[in-house]
């Protein structure tokens, strides 16, 4: 197996990190673009494999949409292919075929789509046989499994002949991603109403516009963590906005407790060190992709913290709770499950001279453990796994030089 070795480096010079563009924004804008009559001007699309896969599939329109391991690409293209009345097979990696999609398929069938499971009920691969007449414009949908089903339905809603009223049932996770979807739709001229748990989108057209994708806040989180764990350093993260569409911009608030000060200007955010105020607990319901970053940071910084809202982590690129537990244990930290889905992060008291991190086909496992290099030599297995969201990650790590 390929590995990358990160030598210990606890103090570093000021480093300017260009950051990749957001794959979440890119994948939404690509679907919206495909549904817009007329030309949009879209710039800064992500280099992420998830986005490049989406671009390739939309451009070449093969009979089989193999999305690899991209969740948004699978969910958004399933809704898109159905509503544009295509015959399509939707598939992906083995892991993708273990990630549930039944809630979205049920909703699309209720609307009038014809979709069959090719293997296991509720999971890809799927055979889509298009869409005849819209059967209803009211759908009730659970919000506690993945917000991506809701985003997928919302983006096709304006082009449904009768529009769509979505009633969100139960706890809604990753709400910030639903807000991102609606805000992006609004930037392309679509109006909606959102009243408590009811979102209504009338039939209407997306309006051609110009849009520049922001840098990726989830990818930015690893740099906040690096500075939090280092003894000395300064970073500039390019292309981030204080007023972001991305919920993972919450990392600013979290890291303010963990010793990182953020100052925004027109080109990005400057990070400097400040004293650690401490963190007692955090709820990751609406920013699940930050959980690994924050768990590793707290484990290194000696912070005992209660983590909640981790339920969706079990059905992502890997079971991220199990993966975290196994890898944190390698430097004597723990993530202990307690009552009512609350986990306690017990920090490390003794970090070995070298730690080898297994990455479980999960880009965020590789990137989240990088900051451990501030304390010891780290070997990361399968480093190319970062290509899913941040192909230039290791190149950027190379920009960080010992002081």
Ligand X SMILES: C=C(OP(=O)(O)O)C(=O)O
* Under rule CB under 6 A, residue 72 binds ligand S3P: yes
Interface with ligand S3P in residues 132-171 (CB under 6 A) = 146-148, 151
> How many amino acids of this chain bind ligand X (CB under 6 A)?
8
Nearer to ligand S3P, 28 or 330 (CB): 28
320 is in an annotated binding site: yes
Q: Of 70-78, 102-110, 183-191, 205-213, which part binds ligand X (CB under 6 A)?
A: 70-78
388 is in an annotated binding site: yes
Is-contact 80 35, C-beta < 8 A? yes
371 φ/ψ angles, rounded to the nearest 5 degrees: -65, -10
Q: Nearest-CA neighbor of 174 among 225, 242, 250?
A: 250
C-alpha 51: how far from its chain's center? 12
DSSP, res 398: H
* Under rule CB under 6 A, residue 389 binds ligand X: yes
Query: Cα separation of 201 and 38, whole Å?
Result: 21
23 is in an annotated binding site: yes
Pairing between β-strand 235-238 and β-strand 15-17 as defined by DSSP bridges: parallel
Nearer to ligand X, 70 or 373 (CB): 70
Nearest distance, CB of residue 76 and ligand X, angstroms? 9
Q: Which residue carries 């969201």 as its tokens?
A: 389
Query: Cα separation of 312 and 230, whole Å?
Result: 30
- Residue 337 pairs in a beta bridge with 343
Q: Of 65-73, 105-113, 295-303, 336-344, which part binds ligand X (CB under 6 A)?
A: 65-73
Q: Of 38-46, 67-75, 201-209, 267-275, which part binds ligand X (CB under 6 A)?
A: 67-75
Is-contact 138 167, C-beta < 8 A? yes
Nearer to ligand S3P, 211 or 331 (CB): 211
* Under rule CB under 6 A, residue 71 binds ligand X: yes
198 is in an annotated binding site: no
Nearest distance, CB of residue 289 and ligand X, angstroms? 4
Nearest distance, CB of residue 393 and ligand X, angstroms? 13
Nearer to ligand S3P, 149 or 224 (CB): 149
Pairing between β-strand 210-212 and β-strand 126-131 as defined by DSSP bridges: unpaired
* Under rule CB under 6 A, residue 72 binds ligand X: yes
Query: Cα separation of 51 and 24, whole Å?
Result: 8
Interface with ligand X in residues 351-370 (CB under 6 A) = 364
Q: What's the full length of the chain, in residues?
A: 403
Interface with ligand S3P in residues 15-34 (CB under 6 A) = 24
Cα dihedral: 41, 186, 177, 50 (round 10): -20
Q: Which of 66, 248, 289, 382 binds ligand X (CB under 6 A)?
A: 289
Which one of ligand X, ligand S3P, none interacts with residue 174, CB within 5 to 8 A by kind? ligand S3P
* Under rule CB under 6 A, residue 151 binds ligand X: no
Q: Nearest-CA neighbor of 181 among 215, 147, 207, 144?
A: 147
Q: Nearest-CA neighbor of 24 among 187, 248, 211, 237?
A: 248
Active-site hit among 50, 69, 216, 289: 289
Nearest distance, CB of residue 315 and ligand X, angstroms? 9
Q: Nearest-CA neighbor of 214 among 190, 180, 188?
A: 180
- 243 an active-site residue? no
* Under rule CB under 6 A, residue 244 binds ligand S3P: no
Q: Could you give the C-alpha distances from 42 to 23, 26, 325, in angstroms and in order?
A: 14, 9, 40
Q: Nearest-CA neighbor of 220 among 239, 198, 206, 204?
A: 239
Catalytic site residues?
289
Which stretches of the chain bind ligand S3P, using CB under 6 A?
24, 72, 146-148, 151, 173-174, 177, 288-289, 312
**Residues contributing to the annotated binding site for phosphoenolpyruvate:** 23, 71, 99, 148, 320, 364, 388
């Amino acid at each position: 197996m390929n590995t990358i070795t990160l030598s210990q480096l606890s103090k570093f010079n000021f480093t300017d990190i260009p950051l990749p563009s957001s794959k979440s924004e890119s994948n939404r804008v690509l679907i919206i673009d495909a549904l817009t009559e007329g030309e949009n001007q879209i710039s800064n699309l992500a280099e992420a494999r998830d986005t490049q896969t989406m671009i390739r599939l939309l451009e070449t329109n093969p009979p089989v949409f193999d999305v690899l391991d991209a969740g948004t690409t699978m969910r958004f293209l399933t809704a898109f292919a159905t509503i544009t009345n295509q015959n399509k097979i939707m598939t992906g990696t083995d892991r993708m075929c273990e990630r549930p999609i039944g809630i979205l398929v049920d909703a699309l069938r209720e609307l009038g789509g014809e979709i069959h499971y090719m293997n296991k009920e509720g999971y890809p691969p799927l055979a889509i046989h298009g869409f005849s007449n819209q059967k209803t414009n009211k759908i009730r949908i659970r919000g506690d499994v993945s917000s991506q089903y809701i985003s997928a339905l919302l983006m096709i809603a304006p082009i449904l002949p009768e529009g769509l009223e979505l009633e969100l049932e139960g706890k809604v996770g990753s709400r910030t991603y639903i807000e991102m979807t609606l805000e992006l739709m609004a930037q392309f001229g679509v109006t909606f109403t959102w009243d408590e748990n009811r979102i209504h989108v009338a039939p209407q057209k997306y309006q051609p516009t110009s849009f520049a994708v922001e840098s990726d806040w989830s990818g930015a989180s690893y740099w906040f963590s690096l500075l939090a764990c280092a003894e000395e350093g300064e970073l500039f993260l390019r292309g981030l906005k204080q007023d972001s569409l991305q919920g993972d911009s919450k990392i600013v608030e979290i890291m303010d407790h963990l010793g990182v000060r953020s100052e925004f200007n027109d080109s990005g955010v400057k990070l400097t060190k400040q004293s650690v105020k401490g963190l007692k607990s955090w709820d990751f319901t609406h920013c699940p992709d930050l959980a690994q970053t924050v768990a590793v940071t707290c484990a290194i910084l000696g912070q005992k913290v209660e983590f909640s809202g981790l339920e969706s982590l079990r059905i992502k690129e890997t079971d991220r709770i199990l993966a975290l537990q196994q890898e944190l244990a390698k430097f004597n930290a723990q993530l202990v499950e307690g009552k009512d889905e609350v986990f306690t992060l017990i920090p490390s008291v003794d970090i070995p001279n070298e730690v080898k991190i297994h990455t479980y086909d999960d880009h965020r496992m590789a990137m989240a453990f990088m900051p451990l290099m501030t304390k010891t030599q780290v070997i990361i297995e399968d480093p190319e796994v970062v290509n899913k969201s941040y192909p230039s990650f290791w190149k950027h790590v190379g920009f960080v030089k010992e002081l």
